[in-house]
A = this chain, B = another copy of it.
Amino acid sequence: MRHAVILAGGSGTRMWPASRAGKPKQLLPLGKDGSTLLGAAIARGKSVAEDRVLIITAQSQLNGTREVAPTIEMIGEPVGRNTAPAVGLAAATLIRRDADAVLVVLPADQYVAKEGVLSDALAAGLVAVEERDVIATIGITPTRPETGFGYIEMSGKPDGKGVSPVKRFVEKPNRETALSYLQAGTFVWNAGIFLISAKRVMRELHERHPEMAKALEQIAAGTADPAHVYPTIKGISFDHAVMEHAKDIVTLPVDCGWDDVGSWAAMPALKGVDEGGNTLEGVALALGGTGNIVLSDNETLLATCGISDMIVVKHGNAVLVIPKDKAQDVRTVVDALSARGLQRYL
Listed in ascending order, the chain A residues whose CB lies under 8 Å from chain B are: 17, 283, 285, 287-288, 299-307, 310, 312, 314, 317-323, 326, 329-330, 332-333, 336-337, 342, 345
Contacts and interface: CB of A to CB of B under 8 A. Distances in A.
A305 B326 contact: yes
A329 B287 CA distance: 10
A322 B306 contact: yes
A44 to B, nearest CB: 33
B322 A319 contact: no
Contacts of A322: 304-307
A19 to B, nearest CB: 14
A138 to B, nearest CB: 34
A336 B287 contact: yes
Nearest to A294: B321
Contacts of A318: 300-303
Given A287-B333, A288-B329, A336-B287, A319 B303 contact: yes
Contact of A305 (B283, B300, B307, B329): B329
Contacts of A317: 299-301
Given A285-B337, A307-B321, 15 more contacts: A285-B333, A285-B336, A287-B333, A288-B329, A288-B332, A300-B319, A301-B342, A302-B318, A303-B318, A303-B319, A303-B320, A304-B322, A307-B310, A307-B323, A319-B319
Contacts of A310: 307, 321
In this complex, the member of A287, A302, A305, A306 whose beta carbon has the largest number of chain B beta carbons within 10 angstroms is A305
